[in-house]
Amino acid sequence: MSHLAAVERRVPPLAALVVAVLAVSTSAILVEWSRAPSLVKAFYRVLFTVLLLLPAALARPADRAAFRRLRPRDVAVAAASGVALAVHFGAWFESLRWTTVAASVTLVQAQPLFVAAGAWALLDERLTGRMLAGIGVALAGATVMSGGGVLVGGAGGARPLYGNALALLGAVAMAAYLLVGRSLRQRLPLLPYVVVVYAVCAGALLAAARARAAPLVGYPPREWLLFAAMAAGPGLAGHTVLNWALAHVESSVVSVSLLGEPVGSTLLAALLLAEYPTPVTLVGGAVVLAGVYATAAARRAGAGPT
């Protein structure tokens, strides 16, 4: 698609990155506005994202060829990666029912900590002293946001400990998605990769929603608009653009930019939901983000003195 390639050449990568971070920052707000069950929201977000991406993936000969090159092992990897992504969406969407937007979005962004731990356990990557220090700082911040907030009456939400635990589960699942899918992503172009994995993810979420007897139809037009907005905003303009940006700017820039999501989501929650973060949440969140940044930076730096 020469037209698409021409558009990509004209888009400044840093400008695209700003748009992507703004788009993903709306995700928690859209989820909060929807009254549908969490699994249904997650299912339609991913399904509509697939439907938006599939025509572009099928239009380019190179992408069509990539689909044909899929081997049984690739399908198995995509299935594992898609299921992990489904757990991420299901856990995180549900966490927003029980804790604040600020706490949920900050804790789910802790996935670099679990990527580092998983790479150490599964891929024999070293955990340096700087990485361990970053993980420790982030865990201390999570403790302040969760247990510390409850003790001083500073945590919001109906069941903040439960909601925060679900957000951390979402972070673990996202780390698994990244670790499992890394080899497949190296062999597949962006669009075929995300279409295959998102399709598996949508199937897993559909199965989970049916197992919970969650209704899939009968929602008012407002809900369908919110499902579509989740796909077009955070799904297409957000995460897909972030994946595109990785080919044009350093991964360190993309990683740091993602730390803007909790900030953007917290500001939007205050403006649109009248959900104001407490001092405990702000302090704990800042500590978590500092630890996540330190861990990610140390991992990118590679092996060093411990």
Pair of tokens at residue 56: 């572009």
Distance from C-alpha of 262 to C-alpha of 293, rounded to nearest angstrom: 13
Q: Residue 305: how many CB atoms within 10 A of its CB?
A: 6
70 in a domain, yes or no?
yes
Phi/psi at 159 (5° precision): -140, 80
In angstroms and rounded to an integer, the radius of gyration of the C-alpha atoms of the chain is 19
Provide the domain limits for residue 49. Answer: 12-301
Among candidates 137, 155, 135, 158, which has minimal Cα distance to 146? 155
Q: For residue 55, what are the contacts with CB-CB under 8 A and spacing of at least 6?
A: none
Average pLDDT, 10 consecutive residues per value, the chain (306 residues)? 54 81 93 96 96 91 89 89 94 93 86 79 77 82 64 57 92 88 79 91 96 96 97 90 74 69 87 85 83 76 48
Residue 1 has a pLDDT of 45
19 in a domain, yes or no?
yes
- 130-181 pLDDT tens trace: 878 888 888 788 777 765 444 334 455 678 889 999 999 999 998 888 888 8
239 in a domain, yes or no?
yes
21 in a domain, yes or no?
yes
126 in a domain, yes or no?
yes
Residue 146 has a pLDDT of 64
Residue 28 has a pLDDT of 93
Residue 9 has a pLDDT of 63
Residue 80 has a pLDDT of 93
2 in a domain, yes or no?
no
Question: Are 13 and 19 spatial neighbours (Cβ–Cβ below 8 Å)?
Answer: no
Q: Residue 118: how many CB atoms within 10 A of its CB?
A: 18
This prediction's pTM:
0.83
Q: How many domains does the chain have?
A: 1
